[in-house]
Structure 1
Amino acid sequence: MLFEKKISFNQNDFDSVVAACIAGNNQAQRYMYQKYFGYAKSICLRYTSCLEESEEVLNEGFLKVFNNLKNYDPSYPFKVWLRTIMVNTAISYYRKHKKHIEDRTALEDVPELRLEEDIVSRITADEVLKLIQRLKPLYKNVFLLHAVDGYNHREIADMLQLNEATVRSQYIRARNQLQELIRQYYPYSYPGSWSVKTSERSYA
């Protein structure tokens, strides 16, 4: 058919938005992009080292979203599905460019510092994320994947194409380095104890 009618959608009916996007309705795709732009970009910014990289990951991630919407299960929370795609896209970008030297020191070579459990509650989430951005790229990615996005070490090893012992060592190194950064930039947060409890894997 030369002039095929575009399927309509209702912004208050998300299923109709998804259906319209799958059917190629540009307005529906634009609406979905704008609705989730801020959320998706915040994820991409976490996993990249600059704005330019985050925008590349964001654009590629949304392309994957639209190309795979037909496989989306409506019974699954859309933001979790979207986040998974954005995280995987960011990790693929990291692996592809290989800009950074990976530290593959074994776990037993890394002494683990005791992290005190209250420190994060004494500084803001934005302050914590800014410090995480100061970590080495591999440390940062491993820490974010485990502590923020809730992946286990085996899953992270598969995503980063590393062995599990390496992932564990990088996570410990990231924790140690983050603790030192908190001590350096926010000395008032001591003494106390802390743990990171920011996993989003259980979103409803």
Structure 2
Amino acid sequence: MPVLPSAVSVKNLDNILALCLQNDRIAQEKLYRAFFGLFYTVARDYTTDNESLLAIINEAFLKIFLHLKDYDTSKGSFETWSKRILRNQCIDHYRKQKNAIAAIEINDSVSNHIQHNDSQPGNSRDTAYYFSLLPETTGKVCRLFFLEGYAHKEIAAELHITESTSRWHVSEGKKRLQEILKRKYA
């Protein structure tokens, strides 16, 4: 049984979704509030800019409300369906921004400014932070591969790159993360 955010029971969720299909604004707000925290956490892995983050979440909710009639309970939970829409929205946002973003290389001057904390590696906040230190495309590929479980073929299709480029970014990301973590925990 899926764990629903913000104390929304399965029965309540079904009622809220039924009302959302009728364009009930109060039900839409309840759904938005119930899933905002989850969406924020998921989208945070794709962007560090709060303005973009909120825009992505709002656009994802708009798509959810517009396509709610297409949701089929026999194919999976609402949470899974909605998170897929959110991830696709994050990837679309990335594609739009791809040409404007210059890859930032991590060098010694950047690594000297890294804020060190005493938390243990593996913390989800640490994971997002370390992925944010990678060049933009490498970070996105690594997030999709390691955190979301995408295959190289899926990553290639989503980001419009080749499978070999996806493999290279994962390999490069591993090397850079190892260097960063060695410096931090050595």
TM-score by length of 1: 0.73
Residue aligning to 2:94: 94
TM-score by length of 2: 0.80
Q: Quote the sequence identity (%).
A: 30
1:47 pairs with 2:46: yes
Number of aligned positions between the proteins: 162
Amino acid in the other structure paired with 1:148: L
1:186 Cα deviation from its structure 2 partner? 2.7
SS at match of 1:100: coil
Decide whether the 8 Å contact of 1:11 with 1:17 is kept in 2. Answer: no
Residue aligning to 2:32: 33
Decide whether the 8 Å contact of 1:15 with 1:74 is kept in 2. Answer: no
SS at match of 2:101: coil
SS at match of 1:21: helix
Taking a change above 3 Å as real, the CA distance of residues 158 and 24 of structure 1, as seen in their structure-2 partners, is same
1:63-86 deviations in Å (ceiling 9; x for gaps):
111111111111312221121111
Taking a change above 3 Å as real, the CA distance of residues 42 and 25 of structure 1, as seen in their structure-2 partners, is same
Question: Comparing 16-25 with 30-39, which one deviates more in the overlay?
Answer: 16-25
Residue aligning to 2:84: 84
1:58 pairs with 2:38: no
Partners of 2:96 and 2:122 lie apart in 1 by 34
Structure with greater proportional helix content: 2
Runs of 4 or more, structure 1, over 4 Å off, are: none
RMSD across aligned C-alpha pairs, in angstroms?
Answer: 2.2
5+ residue gaps, structure 1, are 1-9, 103-120, 188-204
Partners of 2:121 and 2:167 lie apart in 1 by 27
Amino acid in the other structure paired with 2:18: A
